[in-house]
Amino acid sequence: MQDRCSLVHFRLTTMIHMLSALKSLLKSKKLHIDHWAFRLHYRFTVLFLLLFCIVVSTKQYAGDPIRCSKDTREYSTIVENYCFITSTYTVKTALNLTVSEGAPHPGIYPTQDEQQFRYHRYYQWVGFILFIQAVFFYVPHWLWKIFEGGKLSSLLERDTKYLPREEQVKSRNMIVEHLRSRWTKDKLFVVKYLLCEIWCFINLFGQMTFLDTVFEHEYFCFGFEVLNHYRNGSPPRTDPFQRMFPKVTSCTYRYFGEGGKIRSESVLCVLAVNVMNEKIFLFLWFWFMMLSVVTFCALVFKIVVFSVTSLRLTLLCARFPNIRADDFKVIVETGNLSNYLFVYLLGQNMDEAGFLDAIEYFVTMQRGKLN
């Protein structure tokens, strides 16, 4: 009893920590040190994964994820725990059989040929899988925060928009001094940023491959199969949900019978937890696909912009139209890619007047240096 209470206490503590993490993700941050496509990975994706992890874990540990019985009159908690731990199965050749053909449910058939069994073990690990995925999606942001080193937060720690002019000038001078001290020197800044965004794309492919392995190489096409199934109005027994996330499965329960002989019973199990699992992983399939397209396009766009000087100038003028093109031309022509990225990040976190003041003052000093 004491061990069970300790386990419940541990699970509740874990839930509280995860809810705290969700709360921090929901907070709107004033300082953005990256691109909006980057934020889709470590904010929204991590938020979804942790939320799903909490929902599934609550069902598994506080609800009834599985109910088993070898007939309609007998119910045993021991059998349920055994089947949940050791996994259940469906019969592959019986997925498309009807009731008249001897299959009361898709994949349920009285056969002892274990080569026809498809075992379903993933439901024991769904909560852990979702949590580990959330960690991997957060890692690129964690690394970028280390690489960025808090430079932007130290320069923009105060909102100077409503401060006296002397405070605004002091803040501007600090920003300009930082730009001058690092101008053309910190060449790896942009490389580190690109590596983190590339990691995001590689991680997406890795997560899809991982889930495809978990679901026996059927996850890559899962969303397409679901769309085709419901669009074509296929029979319910060809539903991909039934194949990957069956709600009714079989379990072989072995025990000692009379005379010490080992007896074997085939029991019917209802996996209520799969009602949520199928929807969670379908949503994640569409989300990962959308995120892959967005991330790839963002990466290609950045590589093209970083490769063409005129595009960098055009992008800065379009993003910050209140600043003269001649001022941005000095920044693009005298600085390197890391300087360009840092100036862009500065601009997206400063008010227009403050950014204009800082750029004009910096460009004036650069022109004097060139002359």
Q: Quote the pLDDT of residue 8.
A: 46
Q: Quote the pLDDT of residue 22.
A: 56
CA distances from 202 to 36, 91, 139, 186, 226 (A): 18, 35, 12, 26, 25
Question: Which residue in 336, 28, 361, 342 sits closest to 155, CA to CA?
Answer: 342
Amino acid at 337: L
Q: Quote the pLDDT of residue 302.
A: 93
Cα separation, 42 vs 137, in Å, equals: 6
Residue 204 main-chain phi, psi, to 5 deg: -60, -45
Handedness of CA 159, 164, 169, 174 (dihedral sign): negative
Long-range contacts of 146-152 (CB under 8 A, 24+ apart): 147/189, 147/192, 147/193, 147/196, 148/33, 151/178, 151/342, 152/31, 152/33, 152/345, 152/346, 152/349
pTM of the model: 0.84
Buried b (16+ CB within 10 A) or exposed e, 224-241: ebbeebeeeeeeebebbb
H-run or E-run covering 292: helix 273-307
Cα separation, 327 vs 213, in Å, equals: 53
Q: Quote the pLDDT of residue 19.
A: 58
DSSP 294-306: HHHHHHHHHHHHH
pLDDT tens digits for the chain (371 residues)? Answer: 444 445 445 555 655 555 565 555 555 567 888 989 999 999 999 999 999 998 888 877 666 788 887 654 455 677 888 888 888 888 888 887 778 777 888 888 887 777 888 888 888 889 899 999 999 999 999 999 999 988 888 888 766 666 677 777 888 888 889 888 888 888 899 999 999 999 999 999 999 999 999 998 899 999 999 998 888 776 655 688 888 899 888 888 877 766 677 877 788 888 888 889 999 999 999 999 999 999 999 999 999 999 999 999 999 999 999 999 999 999 999 889 999 999 999 999 888 888 888 899 998 888 776 54
Q: Are 242 and 95 in contact (CB under 8 A)?
A: yes
Q: Quote the pLDDT of residue 237.
A: 58
Written as six digits, the tokens of 272 are 């209520």
Q: Quote the pLDDT of residue 187.
A: 85
